[in-house]
Every structure is written in structure tokens, then in C-alpha cells.
Chain A
């Protein structure tokens, strides 16, 4: 097995799952053996200001044009999408896949309305307009995005040993999202402002990646709302999804209680799976909470976070500025301090090995810190 150095690529028969998170943002890179790479979502590596998956794959000397087979956007929220336009450009032969809910005239219209980046930062919608632009510039056969919907196979290796399934969004979630996107379209005379995503996490794409008998469940941000035709309930009850239990779980929605479904742990995961999450700090919300961490640790003791949670980092500034900041604002803190990576590698038939890089740490240690 390759060593635990960050820039040594996996061997051809070695699978990899890498979860990246800088404190605000999430991205996952999969190696499903034989140079089949998949990028799921994107976040920015704050040290180099580049999309984290691209920077990582370049460090490994992976041929992006030939080896990246799919780029998947699980949903359009800012914390999962920053830098995705650059990735789609850099991987011109990768199939672009997005939630079936996004093939929607109102969503497409929103990408036109909010494509102007005169305001700093990204709202997610403007990043998606970059993605559409990159797709339009592609060769004809790579322009058309594939839609991820529940119980659909998205990719299979030529020897059929590896595959990826979409487990969501459900039909009901797609229908509901159309109304929600329409509500985002501004009316005439309404003042312009930044579009901030609401909690539309029921259309996020949950993925099940399988390499022979090892399965990986990537929960995206899908929430559980207690509705039998949406969220995790419909996935757990589906008879059409592959029934394999996963050994690796990317915990949904930053470990939040509203994405927890007990039957997922019981029916879709192996006993004591390896789990990873990315924290989320935005708009005063800080996830996971201490209670979330305690709940997750009851289900597995092999859980990791890509970054510490709730630590107040500060930007060092001139004393006069510092003094004035304290007089004006409360609770100012820096976001996206540094990137953490949780990486699982495993040769088929052998035991998995987990390495953590950057700010990543065991979830238990997150409570202690």
C-alpha cells in the first residue's frame, strides 16, 4: 500500500475516499481503482485559493483530462460548490452530474439573473452559472449534464467491479423544488440583493459508491423531515437501491440532528463504520453541535472531522483597528482557517487505512477541543 504521504498517489488496485473541509465547505475525491477518479462537490483550499480537489489531484500528478470520469454537484449551496466551474473546465472529459431538481427553468433563470459577480464572494448560484458556461464551451458529447435521481446508476467501470448509484433526490423532492426555485425569482421593483440559499436540502444527491464488496455512502446535505416520500426516509425504504451496507459514511449535513435517521445506521451501514464529516460555520450556525458529536459517537468510534468545531480564530491586525473592531462588532471570527483532509485508502481484500491531514481530527477530540 502506498505510504501516508499526502502526495503519493494510490496504486491502481487501491481505492481511496478523501473528504476535504476547510471549516466552511466540503468536497470529496474518490479513486474507484484503475485510474477512475470522481470529484464530488468543491470547496476552496484557503492556503492556495484553488479548488481543493484540483490542487490535491495535481499534487498526485493525476491526468485530469483522462482520469477524472465524473464531476458531481450534489446540490447548489455555496459551501459545496465553490470552485466547481474551474473543475468542470479542468476536466473536460468528465461527465458532469447534478441533482435532477436542477433541470428546472427557474433554477436556470436564477443562474442568469445572479451570474454577475460584482459582489465579492459566491452565492452558489453564480458558481453554477460558471459551470453552465464551462459546459457550453465543451465538445458536443460532454455538454449535457446527467441528472442524478433516486435509484439511478451513474457510472460503472468497464469490468463492472466499481459503480456509483444515486439514491436521491426522490420524485416528490424534485416536484417540490420547482415551486421553491420559482419563489427565488425576483419581482420587478424589488431591490437587488445577494441570493442566499434557504434550507432546500431535500434535493441533495446521496451517492453509494461500490468497489467490489466495499461500499461508500456519501450523505451530502440531505435532511430528514419525517416525510415518507422525501429525505432519508424514502431512501431507507427503497427496495430498488443496492442493499449493500457501507463501510464508509460521509455523515450528512455536517452532522446535524436534522439529517439524522437512526435506520440509516442500522440498515445501510456496517457495524462501526468509518465516518467523516465536514463542519459548518455560517450565519451564527455552528455544526456539529456537542450533542450531534455525542450522538454520532454512539454509532461509531471511528469518526473524523476535517476541521475543529467552534474555535474562534482571529485575523491579526493593527492595534487601532482591533480596538475599533471590538467597539463595533460582537463575536468576530475568521472562517476557513485551513484545510483538513480525511483519507481512506484500501487495497481490495485488505483492511482500510485512514490518514488525516491538515486540521482534520478524530471527532472525539473535537469534543475535547
Chain B
């Protein structure tokens, strides 16, 4: 039987296709399987495994107001059943949010160099991500085909907001010290 490796901070688990990783089953984790899959699908197309590994070390995700959990990922071959074939990808930045819609600047990740601007209805965004629609927020827009395990192909458009980690006090304090050095080095102090 083919096995896959789930990568969790400080923990690895060999498992079979379709098996739910232990950390999802654990009641204390309070993490839904859909959250795992959404993290993977929103990041793997754009990010290398090294980037994901770095995020695993650095990022945490909020757990419905009950503390935070380290991020986790599963190797991509874990979900061979349903497949998304990407035809077009963008990275977007929210420039303006107004009465039920937002305007975003889009950087084409498929044909690099193209820059576009588009208006989206906030209804295009899933309810659990709607709080992320703020000026300066980053998202990915992916258009392609969703191939289901039953062999059905449907055209799909997926907008997923990137949950960036929060600023840490140490980062802010360090930046103030570094800024001081920079000002000295260019004769501004």
C-alpha cells in the first residue's frame, strides 16, 4: 500500500491514501480536514516545498479565537483523488474595499509581467475568509479545471486569501534598531 508523509511540527505520520492524519482527529487540535486541504490548495500551486517548510516553522493560524496552532502541510501526492488543473493564476493585492465589492491589483503568475486591475464582488469570497478582505491583503486567484475522483471535470475559479502571520514585537523592535544603524550609515544621524 502506498503511504504518504504528513508533516507536522515535531511530528511525522505515515499513512495510507484517504486516511485522516492523527492530528486532525485529535480533539484538542480543533482543526478541520477542510482547513488542511484549503491550506494546501491555496499555497502549493505558487509555493515551493521549501517555502512551505519555512512557513511551517514561522507561522501559526488562529483557532476560532481559542489560541493558535502551528501550520501543517501534507505532501502533495496525498490527495490524488480530486485534482485541480490550473490554467491561469494571479497574485492579487486588495487596493480598495467598498460596499460589497473590492478592487484589486493583479500580478499574472502564468504570463509574468502582465499587471491588471479587477473588481470583485465580496460574495465571491468564502464566508470564513471574508474578514480577510482589507486594504493591502494578499490573495491568489486560480482558474482551471476541477477533476473529481468520479471522473467529472468542471470549470472552476478559486479565490483564496493568504493568511499572513502576525507581526511580532521582536520584529518591530529589531527593525527600529536596524533603522538606527541605517540612518548612521548614510549620514542621517
Interface residues, chain A, with chain B CB atoms under 8 Å away: 24, 46, 49, 103, 105, 108-109, 111-113, 119-121, 132, 135-136, 143-145, 185-196, 281-284, 315, 317-318, 320-321, 323-325, 327-336
Instruction: Known A315-B116, A329-B119; judge A282-B182 contact (CB<8 A).
Output: no
The interface size bin for chain B is: 35 or more
* Docked CA distance A283–B119 (Å): 9
Q: Is the CB of A109 within 8 A of B135?
A: no
Extra contacts, 8 of them, besides A103-B188, A119-B138, A192-B166 (Cβ < 8 A), are A113-B172, A120-B109, A188-B169, A191-B163, A191-B167, A324-B156, A332-B119, A333-B118
Q: Is the CB of A191 within 8 A of B164?
A: yes
Q: How far is the CB of A138 from chain B (nearest CB, A)?
A: 9
* Docked CA distance A331–B120 (Å): 9
* Docked CA distance A321–B163 (Å): 26
Contact among A195, A327, A336 for B157, CB-based, below 8 A: A327
Q: How far is the CB of B147 from chain A (nearest CB, A)?
A: 14
Instruction: Known A185-B172, A188-B172; judge A193-B134 contact (CB<8 A).
Output: yes
Q: Is the CB of B179 within 8 A of A109?
A: yes
Q: Is the CB of B166 within 8 A of A335?
A: no
Interface stretch of the complex, out of B20-28, B75-83, B86-94:
B86-94
Q: Is the CB of A109 within 8 A of B175?
A: yes
Q: Is the CB of B187 within 8 A of A144?
A: yes
Q: How far is the CB of A132 from chain B (nearest CB, A)?
A: 6
Q: Is the CB of A315 within 8 A of B167?
A: no
* Docked CA distance A120–B185 (Å): 28
B136 within 8 A of A: yes
Residues of A within 8 A of B188 (CB): 103, 108, 144-145
Contact among B108, B121, B135 for A330, CB-based, below 8 A: B121
Contact among A120, A191, A324 for B166, CB-based, below 8 A: A191
Q: Is the CB of B111 within 8 A of A324?
A: no
Residues of A within 8 A of B2 (CB): none
Residues of A within 8 A of B179 (CB): 105, 108-109, 111-112
Q: How far is the CB of A159 from chain B (nearest CB, A)?
A: 29
Instruction: Known A105-B179, A328-B124; judge A143-B187 contact (CB<8 A).
Output: yes
